[in-house]
């Protein structure tokens, strides 16, 4: 929770209007021939912090993976998506993974894929997660 609040302060978004989802449904972020560039260092710093946060906040993992594809060539549209993720975090600063002791260590894994779903290069994306006991570990 403190990390999220510090991030909102650093980005100047502590008083922003919150939003209930981290990304738009059926978004089509891609490289644009007429894109307007933004501050590269700022974009990379914010996305890097979101990548770190996504390890314990699986609800933002997909949105962060999308914006991280544009680390070296981003536009105002990409930065608006980063801003949307931050606005979502304002609503949910206390969410995250908690690890507890359980009486078993069964390992379970799940996966999902979006085949050729990238509007930019038709690449596929996939994600997975694993439980040890009842704790999410990856």
Helices assigned H by DSSP within the chain? 2-10, 40-54, 61-68, 76-91
- The answer for 24, left when phi > 0, alpha when psi is -120 to 50, beta otherwise, is beta
Query: In terms of domains, do 93 and 114 share one?
Result: no
Query: In terms of domains, do 72 and 118 share one?
Result: no
What is the residue range of 35's domain? 2-97
Query: In terms of domains, do 91 and 104 share one?
Result: no
Query: In terms of domains, do 111 and 77 share one?
Result: no
Query: In terms of domains, do 110 and 93 share one?
Result: no
Threshold 0.75, pTM exceeds: no
- Per-residue pLDDT of the chain in tens (138 residues, 90 and over written 9): 788 999 999 999 899 999 998 888 777 777 777 777 788 899 899 999 999 999 888 889 999 998 998 888 888 888 888 999 999 999 888 787 666 777 888 899 999 888 777 777 878 888 888 888 888 777
Query: In terms of domains, do 51 and 78 share one?
Result: yes
Query: In terms of domains, do 123 and 70 share one?
Result: no
């Amino acid at each position: 929770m403190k990390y999220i609040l510090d991030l909102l302060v650093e980005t100047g978004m502590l008083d922003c209007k919150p939003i209930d989802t981290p990304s738009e449904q059926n978004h089509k972020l891609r490289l644009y021939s007429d894109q307007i560039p933004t501050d590269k260092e700022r974009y990379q710093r914010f996305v890097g912090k979101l990548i770190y946060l996504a390890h314990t906040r699986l609800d933002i993992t997909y949105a962060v993976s999308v914006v991280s594809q544009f680390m070296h060539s981003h536009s105002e549209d990409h930065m608006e998506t980063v801003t949307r993720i931050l606005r979502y975090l304002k609503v949910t600063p206390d969410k995250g993974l908690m690890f507890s002791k359980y009486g078993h260590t069964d390992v379970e894994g799940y996966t999902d894929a979006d085949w050729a779903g990238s509007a930019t290069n038709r690449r596929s994306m996939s994600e997975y997660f694993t439980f040890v006991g009842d704790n999410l570990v990856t």
